[in-house]
A and B are shown apart, each in its own frame.
Chain A
Amino acid sequence: MNTDFELLKSEPFILFLTIGAYYIGTQIQKRVHNPLVNPLLIALLIIIPTLLALDIDYPTYEKGSHAISLLLSPTVVALGFALHKQIKHLKGNVTRVLLAITAGSIVGVLSVVAVCMILGTPEILMVSMEPKSVTMPIALGITERTGGLAPLTAITVFVCGIFGNIVGPWFMKLIGIKSPIAQGLALGAASHGVGTARAMQLGQLQGAVAGMAIGLMGIWTAVVVPIVQAVLK
């Protein structure tokens, strides 16, 4: 074995690659003002081909990048600070925020049921995808209770987040969702933490509201899924 290749599989290289790709993404975003050009997409487009070219498998990458993943939980806690700074903008909006999240969680579950029925998707897949707009730990909890397939739930939850992160701001512009509170709530409700990361880039208020939406959406969906299942049976 060539020792050069060992260096390219080391943790420092993987950290360098990941943080470097993210940094390039943020710099490109600053220069190209297109909502579809964003750090997550750019970084994925840099990292995935690099790993394939250097023949680095996922377990090796996962080990090397684990330190970054560990920061996720503290970041969710830190969203409480953003919410504290922005809460004054939410005064007088509490009822409509709760109404929007309630509707969002019902639409989130029923839309999966509708799409699956139209496609004739097996029930086990439908059950696995029902909590897809919810933050990962809650979604896995829901799927465990309703008998879904955990890996499929994890994938749909995550792709849902990436999709919302990349397409969300463009889509909201298209359909005329303009106020920062509406944007943040929509991103957090539809695409949980990954959407919140994008909301943070739109502004502190959007980010704070999105963080709040993660929690509310998670709890509401946990209530809605069993009800929908009971009705369907």
Chain B
Amino acid sequence: MKGIIIILAILLLGELISWLTGGFIPGNIFGMVIMFLALQTKLIKEESVSSACNALTNNMTLMFLPAGIGLMAAYDIIAENWLSITLNITVTTLMVMAVVGWIVDSNKKKEGKQ
């Protein structure tokens, strides 16, 4: 229970900072940074949040299901632009994945050789 309260308190703080900074970066992203910094500086003890955090992150897929089902409701917009949407999503998502993955991995190989 304590873990959940800490997470919610940090989320609220993140939302506040988001609002104060014009709302462009979402509050939960600020919250993630605050959680990280608070744990690194030992302001929060690992034990007090570990079980709550693990329970949430291990089941993160579940949190996206309702929005995923929402695609049913967006059928019209998708149908009108299906070719462009399909190609953009498949091609460009794989390109980003490949570029990011390769850059991290290729540098690793070089480092291994040195």
Contacts and interface: CB of A to CB of B under 8 A. Distances in A.
B88 A115 contact: yes
Q: Main SS of the interface on chain B? A: helix
Residue from B49, B69, B77, B88 with most neighbouring chain A CB atoms (10 Å): B88
Residue from B40, B56, B83, B104 with most neighbouring chain A CB atoms (10 Å): B104
Interface bin, chain B: 35 or more
Contacts of B68: 40, 43-44, 158, 162
Interface string B58-73: 1111111111111111
A38 to B, nearest CB: 8
A8 interface: no
A44 B24 contact: no
Contacts, number: 302
Given A68-B65, A77-B10, A181-B104, A58 B70 contact: yes
Interface bin, chain A: 35 or more
Interface string A155-181: 110111111110110011001111101
Contact of B35 (A62, A80, A168, A182): A80
Contacts of B62: 18-19, 22, 39, 68, 71
A138 B24 contact: yes
Contacts of A156: 85, 88-89
Given A82-B53, A84-B40, 5 more contacts: A71-B63, A77-B11, A108-B96, A137-B28, A156-B85
Interface of A: 18-19, 21-22, 25, 38-40, 43-44, 47-48, 51, 58, 61-62, 65-66, 68-69, 71-85, 87, 93, 96-97, 99-101, 103-104, 107-108, 111-112, 115-116, 119, 121, 125, 129, 132-133, 135, 137-138, 141, 151-152, 154-156, 158-165, 167-168, 171-172, 175-179, 181-183, 185-187, 189-191, 193-194, 196-198, 200-201, 207, 211, 213-215, 218-219, 222
23 contacts: A18-B62, A40-B65, A43-B61, A43-B68, A62-B66, A71-B63, A73-B31, A76-B29, A77-B7, A80-B38, A80-B39, A100-B99, A115-B92, A138-B24, A151-B74, A158-B68, A158-B71, A160-B89, A163-B90, A182-B105, A186-B98, A191-B93, A215-B32
